[in-house]
Amino acid sequence: MNADRRLLYALLREDFTFFLRYGFKEVIGGSDYDHNWHIDAILYQLERIRQGDNNRLIVTLPPRNLKSFTITTAWVAWMLGKNPALKFMCVSYGQDLVDKHARDCLQIITSPWYKRAFPRVRLTKRSIADFETDMGGGRLSVSCSGPITGRGADIIVIDDPMKADEVLSPTHREATRTMMFNTLMQRLNSQEKGSIILVMQRLHVADLAGELIELGGWHELRLSALATADERVPVGPGQYHLRLAGEALHPALLSVKRLEEIKARDSYVFAAQFQQTPVPEQGNFVNPAWFQYYDAPPDRGMVVQSWDTASKNGLTNDYSVGITAVRYQGRYHVLHVHRERMDFVRLRQVVSELCQRFSVDRLLIEDTASGMQLLQMLRHDRPDHMPLPIACTPEGDKVTRFAAQASRIEAGELIFPRSAPWLAELEAELVGFPNTRHDDQADAVAQLLKHSPIDPEGPPVGGFTVSVDEDGNLTYLGDYDMTDDETDYDGEDDALY
């Protein structure tokens, strides 16, 4: 073998970018491969998987950007060349797609140039869906509904786990979720060292990528079709691609003009499949055009904190949410949103810390489940910096409660800061309610708006009444209007605020 050939095969073994070009020519044919920086970004994250720097990776990017060929086909073939004992499991939504990826991978592995570059790879089983090496490694390919009982893997690659036309079905989303958590994640040969890679285009706020991102512990490489802000994307150790706002991901494939045309046709699909930022389908109550913003919050007013608490802190349970706002001149200026899955001890600590941080004047806690427990605890052991909590008994279901307050959002009584790390999720939930997966923030907002105190900077035309028991405990009873002759204040058992 001459020096040029030795160099060629050495490059194929050591440089996956070089290998990718050869693999593309082998499977696709011709010389149409057009390398772009986003491929380097993907390859860097794959190398981190190989080196053991990460073992939970999500790659989301628009369709037709070589994500499947790069990861599910070429990288698996290259990794088997590096270590023929590796066991891969590759999963996609349908058998036809599974077979296509497997066939392309097998075509590369059985090519003459691959055999010369990786002479240690000897196949003892050549089934398209399940081929094995003489060192015990190989590639098992199954659909999301296919049988995998009894089989394990060192690396699991999940490529497009759902079809776009099925993702709107809660039943299909739940089936995919069950497949992931009850089946696939148990198939790793080592839970500590085994790796899982999910590669897909986003389809829905509650698709599999959305589920995993929400749970935490996964690194996401999100590549949007159009950059919405300047960003630095890692493409190597200490190396970055600077992407400017408004730039297309791969202009030779889809120009800015073409992307804008796609966006104009269906903004919902564009946000999900092209931008990788799916938004909830608009719900029945709030129009995003109603939202108003402030540059700086008022330096006076009454600080109110509203809590919707969850009873458990498991990864699949609801969040506890506390919304802090200052009420001034009839409007709530939202200062902060705390949203976390937490146990009771942590919940009590957070409520105390936030009351002190924002000098809260009025503390509203929903009088259900863990909220009831929190109320009882704080009434008997309350820090000096915390106001006496007010129990808010919910009336009707969450939809009814939110619907009753939506007109106040439309009237501009709820104002947000122009930027905050929690703002996008809050707005998405309010706009999407009740179609969103979680409704804890919407419920906390409804409670905040319903139990409005007297405006400290406005005319005394309204307020609320609370009952006071013999231990000094307060329970919210209702609002009153001081311009009306009749109130629910009887001057005896209730206190007027």
Position 362 scores a pLDDT of: 94
- Decide if pLDDT at 463 tops 50: no
Q: Which CATH class is domain 288-458?
A: alpha beta
| 487 or 33: which leads in pLDDT | 33
Neighbours of 46 (CB within 10 A): 22
Q: Show Cβ contacts of residue 207 under 8 Å, excluding neighbours closer than 6 positions.
A: 162, 167, 173, 176, 200, 278
- Decide if pLDDT at 176 tops 80: yes
- Decide if pLDDT at 304 tops 60: yes
Domain boundaries, the chain: 3-274, 288-458
Position 462 scores a pLDDT of: 40
Percent of the chain surpassing pLDDT 90: 57
Pairing of strands 138-143, 130-133: antiparallel
Beta-bridge partner residues of 159: 199
What is the distance between the alpha carbons of residues 337 and 425, in angstroms, rounded to a whole number? Answer: 10
Model confidence at 494, pLDDT cuts 50, 70, 90, reads very low
User: Which CATH number applies to 3-274?
Assistant: 3.40.50.300
Position 489 scores a pLDDT of: 34
Spatial CA neighbour of 430 closest among 347, 331, 334, 313:
334
Q: Is the dihedral of CA 272, 278, 284, 285 positive or negative?
A: negative
Model confidence at 310, pLDDT cuts 50, 70, 90, reads confident
Mean pLDDT across the chain, nearest whole number?
Answer: 86
Position 2 scores a pLDDT of: 80
Model confidence at 469, pLDDT cuts 50, 70, 90, reads low
What's the average model confidence in pLDDT over 435-439? 80
Position 496 scores a pLDDT of: 36
The 10s digit of each residue's pLDDT in 44-95 is 999 999 999 999 999 999 998 999 999 999 999 999 999 999 999 999 998 8
The 10s digit of each residue's pLDDT in 349-368 is 999 999 999 999 999 999 88
How many CA atoms are closer than 13 Å to the CA of 6, on its beta-carbon side?
3
What's the average model confidence in pLDDT over 310-337? 84
Q: Do domains 3-274 and 288-458 have the same CATH topology?
A: no
- Most confident segment among 305-309, 311-315, 377-381: 305-309
Position 1 scores a pLDDT of: 63
Position 456 scores a pLDDT of: 47
What's the average model confidence in pLDDT over 167-184? 87
- Decide if pLDDT at 471 tops 60: no
The 10s digit of each residue's pLDDT in 130-143 is 999 999 999 999 98
Position 28 scores a pLDDT of: 85
Model confidence at 224, pLDDT cuts 50, 70, 90, reads very high
Position 497 scores a pLDDT of: 37
Position 167 scores a pLDDT of: 81
Position 150 scores a pLDDT of: 73
Model confidence at 394, pLDDT cuts 50, 70, 90, reads confident
Model confidence at 472, pLDDT cuts 50, 70, 90, reads low
Position 168 scores a pLDDT of: 75
What's the average model confidence in pLDDT over 302-320? 78
- Decide if pLDDT at 196 tops 50: yes
pTM of the model: 0.66
Position 64 scores a pLDDT of: 86
| 261 or 167: which leads in pLDDT | 261
Position 201 scores a pLDDT of: 94
